[in-house]
Amino acid sequence: MNRLIRQKINGPRRLRELMNSKDLILAPGAYDALSARLIELTGFDVVYMTGFGTAASMLGYPDVGLITMHEMVDNAKRIVDAVNIPVIADADTGYGNPINVIRTVQEYERVGVAGIHIEDQVFPKKCGHITGKQVIPLEEMVEKVSAAKDAKLSKDFVLIARTDAIAVEGLDSALERAKEYYRAGADVIFVEAPESREQIEIISKELKGIPLLFNWAEGGRTPPVTLEVLRKLGYKIVIFPISTLLAATKAIKEVLEEINKDGTPINVMNRLYPFKDFLDFIGLPEVQELERKYITKSRT
């Protein structure tokens, strides 16, 4: 079926099915529609829309609360439209108080996102793996989670509550918050930035029975762990937020340095994705098929 006119999946329902049928869901980070399509092409079941990558690619700035809800939702819509697998999206702090959170949930849901995570940081928030974070009172975040739960248009929409309290108040506080957020209606809990293998294990033990998201933050505060360890500990979703962003940045920088040195791309052509293959990948044959079907020869 042509991708431009195919029947789109029900993202939230499909994500729920995956959560019920798979022991571990892997969701690499996409920062735009193209990176999302590459994630789908390479066989992953879920795309994660990274807030860090969205800020970097759209604004050229770090993830420090500069990007707006409208910009995030707009990027989420383009990513959802580009793929036919569920998309989990970063929704930062929910962009305000519980009333703002209600609108945030519904805006993301209307563009077809399967689930979002909201966090308990003070706004303007910061990337979970840089210093200087602050968190709001537990009770205030519980109100946000409760409002988000009530705002869902579909019972299948997945609400992920994230706590950044480890870096601010310690692991015990983060665990207390996690349990309260789950009681308030979160479907999945995301304890951000554990700083050791021991903390990763404690989180899984203390929150046993609660679906958990693990942030495999490339180069961040959390030590790298294998898939086997995460599966054994019972984590449900693993995101790799910036592998695509960092890989693309490195490749683009190296190619531009070569072009700047040589004056043309002649010496890097063997490192580029072949132009014809790229046209096929982004759907030119599909467009040409539709042109043959719907556009008369007199107009072409």
Distance of alpha carbon 247 from alpha carbon 249, whole angstroms: 6
Q: Is 107 labeled as catalytic in the residue annotation?
A: no
Q: Is 32 labeled as catalytic in the residue annotation?
A: no
Q: Is 215 labeled as catalytic in the residue annotation?
A: yes
Q: Is 235 labeled as catalytic in the residue annotation?
A: no
Q: Is 198 labeled as catalytic in the residue annotation?
A: no
Distance of alpha carbon 31 from alpha carbon 214, whole angstroms: 19
CA atoms within a 13 Å half-sphere pointing along the CA-CB vector of 21 = 7
Choosing from 95, 108, 127, 182, the catalytic residue is 127
3-state secondary structure of 163: strand
Choosing from 48, 181, 182, 235, the catalytic residue is 48
Choosing from 63, 109, 164, 187, the catalytic residue is 63
Choosing from 16, 37, 129, 162, the catalytic residue is 162
Choosing from 31, 75, 92, 95, the catalytic residue is 92
List Cβ neighbours of 261 (8 Å cut-off, separation of 6 or more). Answer: none
Choosing from 109, 119, 156, 164, the catalytic residue is 119
Choosing from 32, 37, 75, 90, the catalytic residue is 90
Q: Is 17 labeled as catalytic in the residue annotation?
A: no
Q: CB–CB of 135/164 below 8 Å?
A: yes
Q: Is 162 labeled as catalytic in the residue annotation?
A: yes
Q: Scan for tokens 């992953």, then name that residue.
A: 44
Choosing from 16, 37, 117, 129, the catalytic residue is 117
Alpha helices in 83-226 (DSSP H): 98-110, 138-151, 166-169, 171-183, 197-206
Q: Is 117 labeled as catalytic in the residue annotation?
A: yes
Distance of alpha carbon 27 from alpha carbon 88, whole angstroms: 8
Q: Which tokens hold the place of 90?
A: 């970063």
Cβ atoms < 10 Å from Cβ of 8: 10
Torsion angle defined by CA atoms of residues 239, 244, 246 and 251, in that order, rounded to the nearest 10 degrees: 160
Active site residues: 48, 63, 90, 92, 117, 119, 127, 162, 192, 215
